[in-house]
């Protein structure tokens, strides 16, 4: 099995396992696919903030949506200019975040009434920066491939409730702020019909803001993780957005800037997580049916999506003399029963795969989005390397952590 022109076994031999690997060819393909949908395209960098991925976005003319001031600073270090970055959040993480955005001319997209008020106070007190802001609107409905990725509706913390738009106008007026942008993101994995309906809602909300310059329809573009099924076609979104902008431009009598900000759709398919089969195990259920487990060195400390969301990821085993296909449950080394790569609704689910043996390689696909960025040091496991493949070249963009790296912030306090 190869990623671009490089055999996965060679990658594992050079960098060890587990290791994240990103195909630049696949990333560039997705950038070209998504960029043509909207006049302005941002990348929701929380999906993967690897420096080489950020640089590919920059080279491809993609701007940035950041959800923390630290992400803003990371994007700046990767080469983006302040005017390329929008900071979207429901709160300022820290009190001095407001000042940082004002002093560095970072456009802010506010997701709560309190955040608008805090920005207004900061602008008044500091006496510098822009008084123009965007607001994130909760339209009263959402969508997500799991409840935890649904970011709209009454049970979502995100966004200013659509019935509170008069209140946000009042707060903005109190502090002399101009609402020049509106934004909505209601979750990941929506289909075209859902996106068509929800974009229409945002257009109607946008018409209430006389100073509107920019409308951002968010992300949420669908992505199919199962390679046996056809990939979700997003090309029709271009016409949907064009229709929405025609209505807005006609309403205002001027051209409004259209933006989108996908994350997962950009990077999911370019990423792979390589691991090693460490052991085989089996149990018997209540009916004496045998359950076979393949235990690997890839745990939820490396890829949490299956445990957190019940997400599907394709899995391949690579090795000499793989056994016949049979139902197996693929799990990791973490000391938690939920550390299972093949699961659904918080339950282990067997998948039909060739039976490997200890020492064989495992390749997990669809790992480019919300993979490394959500990893942790749980069980004192070091963060793992990130490698990019460009044709036949391998480029290490992050080394493997050591125990000293993990412990360096600790203080040796004697009781």
Strand partners, 331: 295, 340
Q: Looking at residue 122, which CATH number applies to its domain? A: 3.20.20.10
pLDDT above 60: residue 95: yes
Clarify whether residues 251 and 329 are in a common domain: no
Clarify whether residues 296 and 254 are in a common domain: no
- For residues 86 and 76, give the distance between their C-alpha atoms in angstroms, rounded to a whole number: 12
Determine, yes or no, domain membership for 364.
yes
Of the listed ranges 140-144, 171-175, 317-321, 343-347, the least confidently predicted one is 140-144
Would you state the pLDDT for residue 150?
44
| Closest C-alpha to 118, from 91, 89, 100, 86 | 91
Helix or strand run (H / E) with residue 24: helix 24-35
Clarify whether residues 225 and 290 are in a common domain: no
Clarify whether residues 128 and 106 are in a common domain: yes
Determine, yes or no, domain membership for 26.
no
Determine, yes or no, domain membership for 373.
yes
- Could you give the residue numbers annotated as active site? 335
Last residue of a domain, one of 245, 262, 279: 262
Clarify whether residues 283 and 242 are in a common domain: no
Of the listed ranges 181-195, 211-225, 328-342, the least confidently predicted one is 181-195
pLDDT digits (tens, 9 = 90+) for 133-158: 999 999 876 554 444 444 556 777 88
Helix or strand run (H / E) with residue 97: helix 96-103
Determine, yes or no, domain membership for 52.
no
Does the model's pTM come out above 0.85?
A: yes
Would you state the pLDDT for residue 188?
61
How many C-beta atoms lie closer than 10 Å to residue 234's C-beta?
Answer: 18
Domain count, the chain: 2
Would you state the pLDDT for residue 156?
73
Clarify whether residues 253 and 308 are in a common domain: no
Instruction: Give helix 69-78 / helix 51-59 axis angle, nearest 10°.
Output: 70
Determine, yes or no, domain membership for 36.
no
Clarify whether residues 255 and 274 are in a common domain: no
Task: Tell me the percentage of the chain whose pLDDT exceeds 70.
Answer: 95
Would you state the pLDDT for residue 149?
45
Q: Residue length, the chain?
A: 415
Determine, yes or no, domain membership for 136.
yes
User: Domain limits at 219?
Assistant: 90-262
pLDDT digits (tens, 9 = 90+) for 378-393: 999 999 999 999 999 9
Would you state the pLDDT for residue 157?
83
Question: Over the chain, what is the mean pLDDT?
Answer: 94
Clarify whether residues 252 and 371 are in a common domain: no
Clarify whether residues 349 and 318 are in a common domain: yes
Q: Looking at residue 305, which CATH number applies to its domain? A: 2.40.37.10
Clarify whether residues 253 and 312 are in a common domain: no
Clarify whether residues 104 and 249 are in a common domain: yes
Last residue of a domain, one of 202, 232, 262: 262
- For residues 165 and 110, give the distance between their C-alpha atoms in angstroms, rounded to a whole number: 13
Determine, yes or no, domain membership for 2.
no
Last residue of a domain, one of 262, 283, 314: 262
Q: Which two tokens stand for residue 358?
A: 């200890």
pLDDT above 50: residue 232: yes
Clarify whether residues 245 and 274 are in a common domain: no
What DSSP line would sit under 25-80, residue for residue?
Answer: HHHHHHHHHHHTTSSEEEEEGGG---HHHHHHHHHTT-EEEESSHHHHHHHHHHT-
Determine, yes or no, domain membership for 61.
no
């Amino acid at each position: 099995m190869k990623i671009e022109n490089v055999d996965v076994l060679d990658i594992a031999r050079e960098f060890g396992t587990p290791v994240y690997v990103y195909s630049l060819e696949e990333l560039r393909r997705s950038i070209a696919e998504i960029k043509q949908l909207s006049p302005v395209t941002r990348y929701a960098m929380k999906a993967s903030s690897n420096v080489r991925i950020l640089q590919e976005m920059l080279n491809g003319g993609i701007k940035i949506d950041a959800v923390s001031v630290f992400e803003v600073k990371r994007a700046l270090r990767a080469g983006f200019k302040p005017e390329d970055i929008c900071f979207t959040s429901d709160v300022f993480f820290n009190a001095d975040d407001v000042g940082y955005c004002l002093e560095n001319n970072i456009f802010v997209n506010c997701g709560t009434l309190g955040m608008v008020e805090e920005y207004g106070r900061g602008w008044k007190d500091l006496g510098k920066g822009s008084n123009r802001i965007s607001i994130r609107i909760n339209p009263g409905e959402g969508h997500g491939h799991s409840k935890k990725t649904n970011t709209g509706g009454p049970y979502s913390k995100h966004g200013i409730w659509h019935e509170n738009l008069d209140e946000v106008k009042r707060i903005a007026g109190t502090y002399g702020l101009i609402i020049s942008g509106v934004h909505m993101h209601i979750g990941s994995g929506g289909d075209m019909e859902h996106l068509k309906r929800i974009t229409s809602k945002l257009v109607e909300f946008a018409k209430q803001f006389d100073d509107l310059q920019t409308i951002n329809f968010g992300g949420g573009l669908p992505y199919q993780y199962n390679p046996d099924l056809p990939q979700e076609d997003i090309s029709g979104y271009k016409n949907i957005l064009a229709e929405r902008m025609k209505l807005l431009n006609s309403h205002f009598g001027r051209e409004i800037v259209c933006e989108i900000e996908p994350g997962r759709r950009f990077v999911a398919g370019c990423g792979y997580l390589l691991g090693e089969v460490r052991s085989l195990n089996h149990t018997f259920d209540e009916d004496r049916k045998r359950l076979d487990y393949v235990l690997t060195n890839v745990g939820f400390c490396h890829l949490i999506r299956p445990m957190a969301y019940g997400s599907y990821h394709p899995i391949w085993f690579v090795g000499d003399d793989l056994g016949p296909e049979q139902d197996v449950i693929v799990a990791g080394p973490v000391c938690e029963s939920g550390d299972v790569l093949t699961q659904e609704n918080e339950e282990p689910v067997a998948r039909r795969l060739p039976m490997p043996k200890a020492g064989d390689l495992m390749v997990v696909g669809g790992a480019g989005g919300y993979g490394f960025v959500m990893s942790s040091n749980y069980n004192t496991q070091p963060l793992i390397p990130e490698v990019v493949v460009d044709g036949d070249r391998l480029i290490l963009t992050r080394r493997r952590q050591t125990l000293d790296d993990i412990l360096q912030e600790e203080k040796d306090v004697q009781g």
